[in-house]
């Protein structure tokens, strides 16, 4: 039987080195736990970057996947299938009450696969709406984005990222798509000033994360979402919210925008929508923005988008999130986890802690120094977490985690972090 070491060597030889993984091999998983080939058990505190809200291999989601796999998996959008409609109907019902629809035009979705595709789709929709509905002069539509954003990895998306090393790769991926303007995150005044400076008549959309995940769990100042909503409405700019990491309960509300009762015009979803088993993403908005007068046949698509297998999984994932009250659980368990982590941070830690922050079960500890060795020590002690930007460790376990499991994790984190 090959060992963990053999698998890591194989990855290094045959897979492009586009990641720098923690040296652990996962060969099976259940709930919040994952196991390596030697059967060592770990608590998953990354959840595949917040995709495993419902826990690994949720029995109902796996059942839906298997049942659908025996019927039909992929039809392409050249034909209709009997799963996409019911899935999107449910998605629009669940998400619809969280979407701004001032003309009562109705809620529609465009299904894709990965998060980055949902973002690309949202950008196309926003620009098309800008030209067709807002009457922006051709070729002049602009989209405002935030510093330290993370929206995925396509050329266009990395082109407006400010992460020079990881995303833009020191200019080796350019030239990039024009038409994006970057402003600081969490600064509503700067948003309004920028709109006025550039000219509101040419701005199609403001794209941002309601809480920046990959940037290191950066929570915007209280009131930011509300102010953005007001500014976007005032200047007829589409408020496009990337809830790919924060959506479906992760931050303790169904969507992070719910913390301020704010309804975006366009919501981008992915990750947990696929129940941790299959890539499922979507753009959800209103018919006035994405209806047949804006998105016409041939203007956008994906061979796999809206396939029957993805639809069956997506529908079941929504069911499970709602029925198991995962947003409330994330709030309750997240508050508890954060409180315990803050207590640890007060002690004499091996490297100084700058801040413990987050919302729900999206929590980070920021250190004053590089924290990679802490991540490796946590792994050696049975906890899988991941550093981001070298000094920040994110803790984002599946939302089904129990208080006992958090206590178990906190004991280990304390052992690893605190000077004995
Ligand atoms: C906020 C946000 N948007 C988009 C993406 C990209 O999603 P994917 O990796 O599925 O393309 C991510 C991934 O981490 C994300 O956190």
> 71-128: per-residue pLDDT in tens?
999 999 999 999 999 999 999 999 999 999 999 999 999 999 999 999 999 999 999 9
What is the overall mean pLDDT for the chain?
Answer: 97
Q: 135 CA distance to ligand 1 centroid (A)?
A: 31
Which positions ≥6 away from 79 have C-beta within 8 Å? Answer: none
Verify that 106 and 87 share a domain, yes or no. yes
296 is catalytic: no
242 is catalytic: yes
63 is catalytic: no
Q: Which residue from 343, 355, 352, 360 is spatially nearest to 396, judged by alpha carbons?
A: 360
Mutate to test the pocket of ligand 1, among 154, 271, 310 (most ligand atoms within 8 A of CB): 271
Verify that 226 and 286 share a domain, yes or no. yes
Looking at residue 324, what is its pLDDT?
98
Q: Is residue 413 part of a domain?
A: yes
- Average pLDDT of 317-337? 98
Q: Which of 44, 134, 142, 150 is catalytic?
A: 150
Verify that 265 and 368 share a domain, yes or no. no
Verify that 21 and 134 share a domain, yes or no. no
Single residue among 323, 343, 373 that ends a domain in this structure? 323
Atom of ligand 1 nearest to the CA of 281: 10
> 378-400: per-residue pLDDT in tens?
999 999 999 988 999 999 999 99
Looking at residue 79, what is its pLDDT?
97
CATH number at residue 128: 3.40.640.10
Count up the domains in the chain and report the number: 2
3-state secondary structure of 329: helix
Question: Measuring CA to CA, how many Å separate 290 from each of 106, 139, 267?
Answer: 10, 19, 12
Band of pLDDT at residue 167, cut at 50, 70 and 90: low
Looking at residue 24, what is its pLDDT?
97
Verify that 168 and 226 share a domain, yes or no. yes
Band of pLDDT at residue 171, cut at 50, 70 and 90: confident
What pTM value is reported for the model?
Answer: 0.98
Q: Is residue 372 part of a domain?
A: yes
Single residue among 323, 353, 369 that ends a domain in this structure? 323
Q: Which residue from 269, 221, 225, 222 is spatially nearest to 243, judged by alpha carbons?
A: 269
Verify that 166 and 312 share a domain, yes or no. yes
Q: 128 CA distance to ligand 1 centroid (A)?
A: 23
């Amino acid at each position: 039987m090959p060992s963990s070491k053999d698998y890591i060597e194989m990855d290094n030889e045959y897979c492009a080195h586009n990641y720098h993984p923690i040296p652990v091999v996962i060969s099976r998983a259940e709930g919040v736990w994952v196991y390596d080939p030697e059967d060592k058990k770990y608590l998953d505190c990354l959840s595949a970057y917040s995709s495993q809200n419902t826990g690994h291999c949720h029995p109902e989601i796996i059942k839906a996947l298997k049942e659908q796999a025996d019927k039909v998996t992929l039809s392409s959008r050249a034909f209709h299938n009997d799963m996409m409609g019911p899935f999107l109907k449910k998605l629009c019902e669940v998400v619809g009450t969280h979407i701004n629809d001032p003309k009562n035009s109705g809620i529609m979705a465009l299904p894709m696969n990965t998060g980055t595709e949902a973002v690309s789709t949202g950008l196309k929709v926003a620009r098309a709406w800008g030209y067709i509905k807002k009457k922006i002069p051709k070729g002049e539509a602009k989209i405002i984005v935030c510093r330290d954003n993370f929206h995925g990895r396509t050329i266009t998306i990395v082109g407006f990222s400010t992460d020079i090393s990881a995303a833009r790769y020191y200019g080796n991926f350019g030239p990039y798509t024009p038409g994006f303007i970057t402003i600081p995150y969490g600064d509503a005044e700067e948003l309004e000033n920028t709109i006025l400076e550039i000219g509101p008549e040419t701005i199609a959309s403001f794209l941002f994360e309601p809480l920046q995940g990959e940037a290191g769990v950066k929570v915007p100042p209280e009131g930011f979402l509300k102010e953005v909503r007001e500014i976007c409405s005032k200047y007829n700019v589409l408020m496009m919210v990337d809830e790919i990491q924060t959506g479906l309960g992760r931050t303790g509300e169904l969507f992070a925008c719910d913390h301020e009762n704010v309804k975006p015009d366009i919501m981008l979803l992915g990750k947990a929508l696929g129940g941790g088993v299959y890539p499922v993403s979507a753009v959800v908005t209103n018919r006035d923005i994405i209806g047949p007068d804006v998105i016409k046949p041939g203007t956008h698509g994906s061979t796999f988008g809206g396939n029957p297998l993805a639809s069956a999984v997506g529908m079941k994932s929504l069911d499970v999130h709602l029925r198991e009250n995962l947003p409330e659980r994330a709030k309750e368990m997240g508050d508890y986890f954060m409180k315990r982590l803050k207590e640890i941070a007060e002690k004499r830690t091996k490297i100084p802690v700058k801040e413990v922050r987050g919302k729900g079960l999206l929590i980070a500890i920021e250190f004053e120094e590089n924290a990679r060795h802490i991540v490796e020590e946590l792994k050696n002690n049975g906890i899988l977490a991941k550093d981001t930007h070298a000094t920040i460790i994110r803790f984002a376990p599946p939302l089904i985690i129990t208080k006992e499991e958090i206590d178990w994790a906190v004991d280990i984190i304390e052992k690893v972090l605190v000077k004995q």
